[in-house]
Structure 1
Amino acid sequence: MQRKLTYKIAFLIALFFCTSLSFSQSKKQQELEERRQELRREIQQINSLLTKNKSQQKSQLTLIEDLNYKVSVRRNLIKVTNQQANLLTREINDNQNKISELREELATLKDNYSKMIVTSYKSKSEQSRVMFLLSSSNFQQAYKRIKYINQYAEYQKEQGESIKAKTAELQVINTALLKQKADKQQLISENKVAQVELEKELKQHETLMAAINKDVSKYATQIKSRQAEASRIDREIERIIKEAIASSNAKSGTKSTSKSTAYAMTPEDKVLANSFVTSKGKLPWPVEKGIVKLRYGRQPSPIVKTIMIQSNGVRIATEKNAKVRAVFNGEVYRIIGSKNGNPSILIRHGNYFTAYSNLGKIYVKKGDKVTTKQEIGEVFTNPSNGQTMLSFSVFNNSKTENPASWIFKM
């Protein structure tokens, strides 16, 4: 009885494990699917932003930037989808091999079981069993024969249960295989559509670049002008942070020199800074919806490759009237005005600072305490081209850091 119960439990565990294994995607497959969905959402956001700004007369520079970004995301989508399809191919092959193995095992089990049933049938009569027992030479031999008869009967039942288990496992893997084949076909179909869209975008890109190449110097001047304005704002923010560091050292009584680089923190500042660091990689986006058009670091211009762009933060394209949100609890350290551009907000989080530039409206003032996701302003929308672009930076004291390391899924 105990043996039968143990076998049934083992059978149920094996069946559950098999079902879970067959119907759940592998960890790698799940990661690829999440990434694919992110890229699809990103393309939808790009299309949404481009559609909303369609009525605006965009410059060639803006158009090529938008298209460059869209092509890049589309290529990534095709790449990830191909990876998914290839992984599914390997999983399908594994399952097909597993099915072949199971069918062989099942055939062997059934063959052995049928032979055992025939043998059992030939000697199944009560008279045969009684004669088998009575022919024992002593009591001990008779006891062993009784035990053998019972074990043989139990073994028959186990073989029957084993056939049921293998049959169930085969059905589960067959079902999983059919789903995998359908998923693969869906991915192939989606990739064909994506490839057609990419070819259209590349043709548009070729046409735009041909127009730009006719007057490269004109566009190079525009790019350099943008870079100069961004660098000016970066220098101003850096200057203000260095002043804040010097001021904090003076207040704390710390000997301050021109080389002082660390903000002198109060116990409350240290708690806030530690909390900020703990949230690294989990901070919310500074706008509810947006796509990163320019990433952190030194990089060649996507239009004029010979021009290098230094980005101390990220530039996020968003929708008109988009609200700017504080990414963490802190204090508004400064509202930074600009003669040629739009204002910025600098928020301090202990010895960390976050900067939000190119704002059209400001909702806070210097000294205000802000909380995570609190609206602090509105992104400026350029009336000439309809672009709504937020520049966002993260500083550790006066040193810039990559915002993508701090913001969730940037």
Structure 2
Amino acid sequence: MNRALAFILVHFLFAFFVSGQSKEDLQQQKQKAYDDLKLTRDLMEKTSAKRSSSVKQLRLLQNGINARAGLISTMESELNLMDRSIQETEVNIGQLTSDNKKNKEEYARLIYFAYRNHTEYEKLMYILAGATISQSYQRYKYLKYISAYRVRKANEIDSLIVELDLQKDQLNLFRNEKLLALEEKEVEQEKLLGQRSRRRSMVNDLKRKESELRKEISEKERITKALESRIREIIEEEARKANSANIYAALTPEQELLGKDFRKNKGKLPWPVEQGIVTGAYGKNEVPGLRGSSVQNNGIDITSSPGTEVRAVFEGQVTKVFAILGANYTVLIRHGEFLSVYQNLVNVRVKTGDRVLTKEGLGEAFTDEKENVASVHFEVWQERTILNPEEWISK
């Protein structure tokens, strides 16, 4: 095999390996988007069966729109990757075709030389025609080399033809995959247009429910303030017991280590539910249907299926279990200097002082009969500072 062929094969295999990795990443992203869309669709069906347009339904729909837009973006990246693969394969085919042509031309010259010296007598005359014994010997070696070289060239031509056929098959495969991907993208784009149309319809429907929406906002704000106030009271109470302005200054070595481990897992903590959709982001959330209205969220609201178990995101100790009117039970877990907060639980299975492990069940997310879906509110605190939980849990 000549150097050009070896280079082409190495280049192709390297490009294919790198593309394979990228393709695998894109496939994983696509699968996650499909999973999110399926969960969103299931939850939307549950809420639609119980009531007409609601803020939660609209946020579920928006999550579906975001997931589908992300899916289409991933498909576009996949198509770009396919285009690069097609271009690389076309370049390889061109190089292989050129090499094959050169090899055939060289092989033709070898055949012509062999034809002129095809008998043993002609070979002997060619050797004896040397001016010196040394030159005759070199001619003898040259004839042997030409014979072996001709066989090698014939093998190279055969190998190039096989590789060329493989490359052409690969090119056809890439082109077929691209056609299927384009069709898939068109389908998803049509679905996205349908979702956006439905969103506009739901927003208009909610605008006619202004009074009901304002009551929901007021109740949400009351629960948020009550939870924050209760958590701060608990922190101050612990500070008094520790006789320190900073309760965490009195942590045991074990608690300090737990806090460091919690910090190391930022962005990698498991979700407080096995499957769920974030329907209330951290920070200010605009209320659909009420222009200029927003609600402050100190954590994230996660919507899931009825009966969903709520679990600890990290090992720690239960600091407090308490109830808030209209928001069921809240569980606070200490992880050194950090606190994780789980609100809107029923059937709570832990009590103050219990030590829990990562993913250990704490209770059940409350299912709203009006919505027919379960929801849990989740927060992360560091000392007296409220953090963004989405930066702590895995993506």
Q: How does the TM-score come out when normalised to structure 2?
A: 0.88
The Cα of 1:116 is off from its aligned counterpart by: 2.1
1:400 equivalenced with 2:362 (yes/no) = no
Q: How does 1:172-191 map to 2 (within 5 A)?
A: 172-191=166-185
Native 8 Å contact 2:269 2:314 kept in 1: yes
Deviation at 1:191, TM superposition (A): 2.1
Q: How far does the alpha carbon of each residue in 1:139-172 deviate from its partner, in whole angstroms, 9 at most, with x for none?
A: 4323433333333334334433433343333233
Aligned to 2:359: 373
1:33 aligns with 2:43: no
Distance 1:55 1:343 in 2: 27
Per the alignment, residue 359 of structure 1 pairs with: 345
Task: Give the whole-Å Cα distance in 1 for the aligned partners of 2:146 and 2:214.
Answer: 89
Q: Distance in 2 between matches of 1:155 and 1:41?
A: 59
Gaps of 5+ in 1: 1-6, 251-255
Match of 1:90 in 2: 84
Shift, 1:54, TM fit: 4.1
Amino acid at match of 2:295: I
Change (3 A) 1:170 1:277: farther
Partner of 1:281: 267
Give the drift of 1:242. Answer: 4.8
Is the counterpart of residue 114 in structure 1 residue 100 in structure 2?
A: no
* Cα deviation code 1:286-335 (max 9, x no counterpart): 11111122222334344435223333322111111111111221111111
Q: In the alignment, which of 124, 142, 151 is matched to residue 145 of structure 2?
A: 151
Q: 1:105 to 1:300 in 2, by over 3 A?
A: farther
- 1:26: Cα distance to partner? 4.3
1:319 pairs with 2:305: yes
Look up the match of 1:253.
none
Decide which of 227, 230, 234 is 2:224's aligned counterpart.
230
C-alpha distance in 2 between matches for 1:114 and 1:242:
93
Structure 2 gaps, min length 5: none
Counterpart of 2:277, as a letter, is I
Shift of 1:12: 8.1
* CA apart distance, 1:119: 2.1
Task: Choose which of 314, 335, 340 in structure 2 pairs with 1:328.
Answer: 314
What's the CA shift string for 1:127-148, capped at 9, x where partnerless?
A: 2222222233334323433333
Give 3-state SS (helix, strand or coil) of 1:99's partner: helix
Q: How does 1:52-71 map to 2 (within 5 A)?
A: 52-58=46-52, 60-71=54-65
Contact 1:244–1:263 (CA under 8 A) maintained in structure 2: no
- After TM superposition, give the deviation of residue 10 of structure 1 in Å: 11
- Structure 1 residue 43 displacement after superposition: 0.5
CA distance in 2, matches of 1:220, 1:84: 44
The letter of the residue matching 2:350 is V
Shift in Å, 1:20: 6.4
- Give the deviation of 1:265 after TM superposition: 2.4
The answer to whether the Cα contact below 8 Å between 1:324 and 1:375 also exists between their aligned partners in 2 is yes
TM-score, length of structure 1 as denominator length: 0.85
CA drift of 1:44 comes to 0.4
Relative to structure 1, is the Cα distance of residues 149 and 214 closer, same or farther in structure 2, using a 3 angstrom cutoff?
same
Give the conservation status (yes or no) of the 8 Å contact 1:295–1:315: yes
1:360–1:381: 8 Å Cα contact kept in structure 2? no
The Cα shift of 1:359 comes to 0.5
> Which stretch shifts more, 358-367 or 287-296?
287-296
AA partner of residue 75 (structure 1): A
Residue 193 of structure 1 is matched in structure 2 by 187
SS of 1:283's equivalent? coil
SS of residue matched to 2:250: coil
Residue 109 and residue 13 in structure 1: after superposition, are their counterparts in 2 closer, same or farther (change >3 A)? closer
Q: Give yes or no for contact 2:53–2:202 (8 Å, CA) kept in 1.
A: no
1:246, distance to aligned residue in structure 2 (A): 5.5
- The answer as to whether partners of 2:308 and 2:364 remain within 8 angstroms in 1 is yes
Q: Which residue of 2 aligns with 1:124?
A: 118
**Identity across matched positions, percent:** 27
2:207 to 190, 213, 221: 213
1:19: how far off?
A: 4.8
Q: 252, 264, 267: which one pairs with 2:253?
A: 267
What's the counterpart of residue 45 of structure 2?
Answer: 51
> How far off its partner does 1:46 sit?
0.9
**Matched-pair contact (CA < 8 Å) for 1:68–1:302:** no
Count of residues in correspondence between the two structures: 395
Deviates most, 55-64 or 308-317? 55-64
Alpha-carbon distance, 1:383 to partner: 1.7
Are residue 137 (structure 1) and residue 131 (structure 2) matched?
yes
**Contact 1:326 1:370 (C-alpha < 8 Å) held by counterparts:** yes
Letter in 1 for 2:200: E
